[in-house]
Amino acid sequence: MQKPGLPKGTRDFGPLQMARRNFILNTIKDTFQLFGYQQIETPAMENLNTLTGKYGDEGDQLLFKILNSGDFLKKVSPEDLSAGANATLPKVSEKGLRYDLTVPFARFVVMNRNELTFPFKRFQIQPVWRADRPQKGRYREFYQCDADVVGTESLVCEAEIILMIRDVFSKLGLKDYSIKVNNRKILTGISEAIGAAGKEGPLCVAIDKLDKIGWEKVKEELTERDFSAESVEKLAPLVSLNTDYKGKIEFLKEFLAGSEIGLKGVEEFEEMLTILGQMGENLDFVDFDVMLARGLSYYTGAIFEVKVNHVSIGSVSGGGRYDNLTGVFGLSGVSGVGFSFGVDRLYDVLDELNLFPEESLKGTKILLTHFDQKGFDYALSILTKLRKAGIKAEIFPDVTKVKKQLDFASKKGIPFVGICGDNEIQTESLALKNLETGNQEILKIEEVISFLQNN
């Protein structure tokens, strides 16, 4: 007999995990909708030519490919075997599993450009798959949760992203976190200002590691990457810059005085703050981090990254503005800005901080229990009344020992049981027992309904 297992790097989600995940996802959904974002879904499978080449060579290797249906070998010759897997791949596979939600979204926008209303604000919550080596906290199947606006360059979008993060965190009960913000143009300006124009790519890669490896190691890496000693020297005051956002803006205006694009980045940052101010928001929570780089090379404007303080988990949200999301599919000039929440990481954060609200995870509110067939029949008649009043209710479906029924309720986390004994049948009532406190009282059915609706 076969012993069943799961493919490595994948997970089942049982009832408790699902309730907690839904708590997070519904909170995020509510916020997205409050801000006018609309949900879309795209297929799990995409044509390989949609996916390939969009995530770098490493990404291409991590794509899960679907074997063609039927005789998948029919185009393969013995010579292909010696040519190797990469050469043979196009003959046995035409489709792959979604690697992220960004490329499918770009494809969606291009294919539906004549029907969509721009600026188009969409959100998308779906699993993605990566053939990564599984390890703690890294899975081969995981949900992404993205929101993007395309078709406008308005900095209202950036401001609203910050507000959405705050709204979600506030609803999740998260208080101590920082929203780091920077602008890719400032990074470009910095590379110009330190005499390393055009090298913001390697500059970003190196300083992206500042948090992890420290300034000394980053200096070494910059030197290895052919930054001159003079450039590295010029960068130092920025790294040690320790002031509030106003001070940083002042500093940068001077530091970037010779860089048009750098000053444009500062200006965009200031305008975003102005908008937030006009929206009545306190600006203290915006953590202007002029060294924040994020790895992705397609960002062209604002970049965001969110960390929860005092937990062992890395960034839980991030994003930025890009100028040419859809160019690769033949539609240029579509500017956009987006961000995403890391659902698995948020789950771990809420778990670590014990922030999952008991109430929102509750399923069934009351289990009707019985001693014999007569009580069972009576319970059936009550059940309908409870459900008609919108109360999540169950009957233990077999006539059996009451102890077994109470065990069932307590294991399933059902807070109340309604005991149907002879006395209750005669008085058309229920003995309502609170399983947490052990309190029990006899109530008329109408009283049970109004009690449970309010508790």
- Nearest approach, Cβ of residue 278 and its own copies (Å): 4
* Buried b / exposed e along 386-425 (16+ C-beta atoms within 10 A): beeeebebbbbeeeeeeeebbebbeeeebbbbbbbbeebb
* 373/437 with CB nearer its own copies: 373
Binding to its own copies by residue 295, rule CB under 8 A?
A: no
Alpha helices in 84-152 (DSSP H): 85-92, 102-111
333 binds its own copies (CB under 8 A): no
205 vs 402 by CB, closer to its own copies:
402
| 360 binding its own copies? (CB under 8 A) | no
Minimum CB distance to its own copies, residue 69 (Å) = 4
Smallest distance, Å, CB 428 to its own copies?
14
Q: Is 35 a residue that touches its own copies (CB under 8 A)?
A: yes
Pick the binder of its own copies from 24, 232, 349, 393 (CB under 8 A): 393
Query: Least distance (Å) from its own copies to the CB of residue 189?
Result: 25
For its own copies, give the closer residue by CB, 35 or 298: 35
Candidate segments 216-224, 232-240, 345-353, 373-381, binder of its own copies by CB under 8 A: 373-381
Task: Determine if 446 is a binding residue for its own copies (CB under 8 A).
Answer: no
Q: Kindly give the pairing relationship between strand 93-97 and strand 45-47.
A: antiparallel
Among 69, 242, 312, 354, binds its own copies (CB under 8 A): 69
Q: Which two tokens stand for residue 112?
A: 């539906």
Which residues within the stretch 194-223 sit at the binding site for its own copies (CB under 8 A)? none
Q: Please tell me whether residue 18 binds its own copies under the rule CB under 8 A.
A: yes
Does 42 sit near its own copies (CB under 8 A)?
A: yes
End-to-end CA distance of the chain: 48
321 is in an annotated binding site: no
Nearest residue to 253 (alpha-carbon basis) of 267, 243, 238, 233: 267
Are 341 and 179 in contact, with CB atoms under 8 Å apart? no
Distance of CA 433 to the CA centre of its chain: 40
Is 130 known as a binding-site position? yes
Query: What is 42-81 written as a DSSP string?
Result: --SEEEHHHHTTSSHHHHHHHPPEEEPSS-TTTT--HHHH
Asked if residue 225 belongs to a known ligand binding site, the reply is no
Residue type at position 415? P
Check if the beta carbon of residue 139 is closer than 8 Å to that of residue 13: no
Question: CA–CA separation, 332 vs 76, rounded Å?
Answer: 38
Q: Closest separation between CB of residue 439 and its own copies, Å?
A: 23
d(CA 266, CA 248): 10
CB of 85 to its own copies, least distance (A): 5
Q: What is the rounded distance in angstroms from the CA atom of residue 2 to the CA atom of residue 6?
A: 13
Q: From the CB of 122, what's the least distance to its own copies, in Å?
A: 7
**CA distances (Å), origin 178, targets 163, 169, 285, 294:** 13, 11, 7, 15
* Cβ atoms 73, 98 nearer than 8 A: no
21 is in an annotated binding site: no
Interacting residue with its own copies among 170, 384, 434, 453 (CB under 8 A): 384
Q: What is 410-434 written as a DSSP string?
A: HHTT--EEEEE-HHHHHHTEEEEEE
425 makes contact with its own copies (CB under 8 A): no
Cβ closer to its own copies: 5 or 438?
Answer: 5
Tell me which residues in 117-146 interact with its own copies (CB under 8 A).
Answer: 117, 119, 121-122, 127, 129, 131, 140-141
Looking only at the bridges linking them, the beta strands covering 93-97 and 65-67 are antiparallel
- Which of 25, 55, 59, 93 is the binder for its own copies (CB under 8 A)? 93
Q: Is 148 annotated as a binding residue?
A: yes
* Joined tokens for residue 177: 């976190």
Does 452 show up as a binding residue in the annotation? no
Question: 251 is written with which tokens?
Answer: 């500093």
Question: Which listed residue (261, 328, 355, 443) binds its own copies by CB under 8 A?
Answer: 328
144 in a labelled binding site: yes
Q: In this chain, which of 46, 148, 192, 424 binds its own copies, going by CB under 8 A?
A: 46
49 binds its own copies (CB under 8 A): yes
Q: Which of residues 394-423 bind its own copies (CB under 8 A)?
A: 394-395, 397-398, 408, 411-412
Binding site for L-histidine: what residues are annotated? 100-102, 130, 144, 148, 294, 298-299
Binding site: what residues are annotated? 100-102, 130, 144, 148, 294, 298-299
